[in-house]
A and B are shown apart, each in its own frame.
Chain A
């Protein structure tokens, strides 16, 4: 595991040295100048956010999951605010892959932004056809496969909740896309053992993992005494789910430290992003926070650089997975900033991880 070489104590002038931090990151061979991306479904295709910050300055724009055909999405209400989060049931509204390539991707290309294209399907066949459509499209940084979709051929069971179905989708996508384009599998936290799903999709050819998708939730309107969303259930996102997401990233990184992770789930600040990096994410996506602050992705990138500098890291890469390091037997004066030392033995998450690895 990469370790930070730390030669100095805390720096209070971190803001001044932040620009010197090397924020370059690699996601499955894809080099990104910044580790902060948008999150699928929280940035449309980048155009609206370009009003508020330069979308070419972030790691990449992760586009809203696109399906083969135009899709109206679900009825309204589609959204409910929850404590430090929100529930959504959009139903993958979108123009279909052809219009997406002609308009949305074309805009990103002309703008010079890196694009991670998220795809979603209702059957392995649909994912296959989507992947084939992308095979000869240039200027795609990566493909993110949203497998949190009901499989119409298996009584609506969600692909991401079944290791076999998840692997089938990833195999189909990997076989039908340009081998030079990384394929990221986006995992759902609504599973018994996320490490098992992660192993299955990596075995099927996923080059990296995006985690996590939303958690399935529900709100009941106490005035109407009916479900608040027209779709009854919805995906919970926002800072409320961050500890779940950090746990998932930590467990999967512990089990497969060589697999690159794009971490997401409730990131609102640079310190939130740092948690994911320390847990093992090589890059992070800012999602729901963008609804609250349209300049959040660029702000989080700046805050993350400052947070790394304050802790004595010289590069982002050096911090990836740092929370997994063994406890220092004797704290040395030149070691990591004392205030940020963690007693790993006391962390109950470790016990869970080890059990997961052995099982």
Chain B
């Protein structure tokens, strides 16, 4: 079944082509007729879990790791996930030829520079998933691409080989020092930005990491593009659960949906310290003071 879209996303019944482990993560390869052809780096898909009568109603959102627009199976795409909840556990047990309901491509993808500038890609854990197709797109535009990947431990790094293939330089960090530098991505980022004279920083990972990356990028006078990982119920912009405070061109803070207004935001526009709250002055915020 394919529900045709007039303006972007489509809903398709895909089929599992393969499933493999990558460190602590799972990589699922799916047919998703029509989605691979439309997907751009930073887009995501929202997948229904548990089958047609599932008691789990909320779709799970995943960055698109890779797409193959032709091949033996027609268009396929890959997602990466950690089986740490009931929905992702169900996904991890899917077999070849199992059917799966996919909506995508969703969200606003990464903005690409018009000039061949120097770009640094930073990711935490499997937040690296969208970074490899992004790196390909940047290199196709003549951009220099350097990559920084970090995780708590070696088995939670994702895509190290992909990164080695694609990046001018690759810097790894782990909290426990099991591989690369011991520490966080933001510990090494200032040196990388300086060394590469970076113009743009692209980041994907936990909110705290994005906050630090956006700050480091701003200190170095680089633009930052941050893909957030917010909890979503629908992924298509109708449930209003995945909001965060973002400053608009007019200087006004609004609670924007990370699914349709994001997941990629300019790092200097997100009020990172106040994610999870309604900051004072946000459009429509409850009046403060009084009683």
Contacts and interface: CB of A to CB of B under 8 A. Distances in A.
Q: Which bucket holds chain B's interface residue count?
A: 35 or more
B277 A90 contact: no
A157 to B, nearest CB: 18
B58 A81 contact: yes
Interface string A67-78: 001111111111
Interface stretch (B143-151, B167-175, B238-246, B264-272): B238-246
B276 A76 contact: yes
Contacts of B239: 42, 79, 88, 90, 291
Contact of A50 (B6, B59, B243, B282): B6
Contacts of B57: 81, 84-86, 238-239, 288-289, 291-292
Interface stretch (B25-33, B177-185, B228-236): B228-236
Interface in B51-69: 54-59
Contact of A51 (B8, B58, B282, B286): B8
B283 to A, nearest CB: 5
Interface string A44-58: 100011111100000
A295 B59 CA distance: 14
Nearest to A52: B3
A84 to B, nearest CB: 4
B278 A72 contact: yes
B276 A230 contact: yes
B17 interface: no
Q: Which bucket holds chain A's interface residue count?
A: 35 or more
Nearest to B236: A48
Given A50-B6, A53-B3, A292-B59, A76 B11 contact: no
Contact of B7 (A51, A88, A95): A51
B21 to A, nearest CB: 25
A93 B55 contact: no
A149 B237 CA distance: 23
Contacts of A288: 57
Contact of B55 (A51, A83, A291): A83
Given A44-B237, A51-B8, A73-B278, A292 B48 contact: yes
23 contacts: A48-B236, A48-B238, A50-B7, A51-B8, A51-B9, A52-B3, A52-B5, A53-B3, A70-B284, A72-B283, A72-B284, A72-B286, A73-B278, A81-B233, A90-B239, A238-B57, A239-B55, A290-B234, A291-B234, A291-B238, A293-B11, A293-B101, A294-B11
Interface of B: 3, 5-11, 48, 54-59, 101, 103, 230-231, 233-234, 236-244, 254-255, 260, 275-278, 282-286
Interface of A: 41-44, 48-53, 64, 69-79, 81, 83-86, 88, 90, 93-96, 230, 238-239, 288-295
